[in-house]
Amino acid sequence: MANAVTSVVAVGTADVDRCDCNVIHEDIVAQVREKMPGDDILLDLADLFKVFSDSTRVRILCALQHSEMCVCDIAFLLGMTKSAISHQLRALRQTRLVKHRRDGKVVYYSLDDEHVSNIFEQGLIHICE
């Protein structure tokens, strides 16, 4: 298209080299770039979804939606070692998705975020489309 050709001239050679491209719809790219959130936000967004990208963590969060539980309970429920569960709980703790309280030797975990349910729900809607 003529549009694309003029774009090539407009963006300059240096920029084109960086992405190894020649055909660029400059106007569309400019529009989209303006509307997109900043890279830092999108990186945080990816990091958030990264927490939900492991089935062990998903199962832990799903379990905690129904009840507070200790590490032993979760390990038994999922058929995994306490160590494995504890490692994942650490990740969930660091991202502020779960909180914990100690009662003697036992540590109880529970959800610390009301958004988790909503995010899960949207995901499930997609799964069962």
Partner DNA sequence: GGAACAATTGAACAGTTGCGCAACCATTGT
Partner DNA sequence: ACAATGGTTGCGCAACTGTTCAATTGTTCC
- What residue ranges bind DNA (CB under 7 A)? 21-23, 50, 53-54, 56-57, 70-72, 80-84, 86-91, 100, 102, 104-108
37 binds a copy of itself (CB under 8 A): yes
**Residue 118 contact, options DNA, a copy of itself, none, Cβ 5-8 Å cut-off depending on partner type:** a copy of itself
**Residue 6 contact, options DNA, a copy of itself, none, Cβ 5-8 Å cut-off depending on partner type:** none
110 binds a copy of itself (CB under 8 A): no
Count of other CB atoms within 10 angstroms of residue 81: 10
Three-state SS string across the chain, please? CHHHHHHHHHHCHHHHHHHCCCCCCHHHHHHHHHHCCCHHHHHHHHHHHHHCCCHHHHHHHHHHCCCCEEHHHHHHHHCCCHHHHHHHHHHHHHCCCEEEEEECCEEEEEECCCHHHHHHHHHHHHHCC
Nearer CB in complex with a copy of itself: 72/90: 72
Residues engaged in binding a copy of itself (CB under 8 A):
11, 15-16, 18-25, 28-29, 31-33, 35-37, 39, 41-50, 52-55, 57-59, 62-63, 66-67, 69-73, 75-83, 106, 113, 115, 118-120, 122-127, 129
